[in-house]
Amino acid sequence: MLFYFPLIGFSQDGPFHFNFNNIQREFYLHIPNNLPLNSPIVYVLHGWGGNGGQIMSSTAFNILSDQNNFAVCYPTALIDGDNGNSGLNSWNCSGMSDVNFIHALNDSLQIQYQFDEDRIFATGFSYGGDMSFHLARCQSSNIFDAIAPLAGTIFDYMNICSPSTNISVLVLHGTNDNVINYNGGNFPNYGPYMSAPNIVNEWVSHNSCSLDTSYSLLDVNNDNNITDVTKYQNNNTGDKVWFYKINNGLHAWFDVAPWGNDDFWASEEIWNFFNQVGVNATSLNEQEDLSEKNISRIINTIGKNVQFPSDNLLFHIYDDGSVEKRIIIE
C-alpha cells in the first residue's frame, strides 16, 4: 500500500492517492497546523456521484478542524463501486471492498499521525450516510467510535452485516427528503430501505439506551420549520443515540448563513456530538452539586443572555470558565 503526495507537502489538502488492492484510490486530508499527537480524526463520505474534494468544500469541516484540533479525511468512492452502471462514483455498501479500503487508509494514516484510537469517527451525506451505517455494522475490530449519517439509510441489501459492538450514532434526516424518504421506501434498482425513526429505534435497542432529553432547536430563520432533537444514552457505557428530525427538511447538508438558510450547521452539530462520545455524562436533567462554582451568566443557543430559566436548551457559564448545557423542565 503506497501513498502519493504532492511535492509541495501538506499545506494543501490534496488530492492524495493511496494504492489499495492495486487500485489508486483518491482522498483529501486536512491536518491543522501543529496538531497534537493523540488527536481525533473524522472521515467524511460524499454522496452518489460526488468526490472527496466536493464534500470537503460543501461541509466546511476544515474550519471546525482548525478550531478544535482534529484531522479530517475525505475519501473518494470508485466509479460504479456499487457494481451499478451509472458511470458515477458510488460506495460499495453490499460488500466489504470499501470497508476494507477505509480501514486500510486509516491504518496508514495512524502510522503517520498517531491519532487517538478511541476517537475515530465517520459521517456522510446520502450514499455517504449509507456507507457510514455500513462501516458501523460491518466493523469487527471496533475502529469507529461513532457515526453521524445525514440523509442516509440502511437498505435491505446491506444486511450482510449486523453490528457486533456498541457504537454511538447521530441520525439527521429531513421529513421532506425527496431522495431518501424519511418514512422509508423502495429505491429504484436498489430495493427497500428503512425509515429514519426505525433506524434510530434499532440503534437505541442495540446500545441499550434510554431517553435522556428532548427539545427543539431555535427557529433562527423564522420559517416555522422546527428541528426536533431527541437524545438517548446508556448511562453505564456512555453510548449515545441522537436524532435530529428536521421538519420539512429536504435532501441537503443543513447550513446556517452565509452558506445556507437553515437553523443549524450540520457540520458543527456533528462535531459537537463526536466531541462528547466516550464521556459518561449524567442526564441533562440531573442536578449537580454547584456549591464550589457560581453561574456568571446564562445564554441561549444564539448567544443572547437569558435572565430566567426555561425549558429550552441553555448554556450555563460559570466563574471557573466551565460551560454546561442544561434544560430545566418544570
- The pLDDT tens digits for 159-188 are 999 998 899 999 999 999 999 999 999 999
Decide if pLDDT at 278 tops 70.
no
- Rounded to an integer, what distance in angstroms lies between the CA atom of residue 262 and that of residue 240? 25
Confidence band, pLDDT 50/70/90 cuts, at residue 283: very low
Cell 459537537: give the residue. 272
Distance CA(250)–CA(94), nearest Å, equals 26
Classify strands 71-75 and 41-45 as parallel, antiparallel or unpaired: parallel
At 306 the three-state DSSP class reads coil
pLDDT of residue 2: 40
Model confidence at 97: pLDDT above 50: yes
Predicted confidence band of residue 24 (pLDDT cuts 50, 70, 90) = very high
The set of residues, in sequence order, having a beta carbon less than 8 Å from that of 33 and lying 6+ positions away, is 66
What are the chain's domains?
Answer: 3-283 (3.40.50.1820), 287-330 (no CATH)
pLDDT for position 295: 64
Q: Is 185 exposed, middle or buried (0-12, 13-18, 19+ CB in 10 A)?
A: middle
Report the pLDDT averaged over residues 35-56: 97
Largest CA distance in the chain: 64
Q: What is the mean pLDDT of residues 41-59?
A: 97
Q: Do strands 210-216 and 323-326 pair parallel, antiparallel, or not at all (unpaired)? A: unpaired
The answer to whether residue 294 scores a pLDDT higher than 90 is no
Please give the residue that has the higher pLDDT: either 260 or 125: 125
Closest to 212 measured CA to CA, from 237, 242, 169:
242
What gap in Å lies between CA 1 and CA 104, rounded to an integer?
8
Looking at 58-62, 158-162, 290-294, which range is the least confident one? Answer: 290-294
pTM of the full structure: 0.83
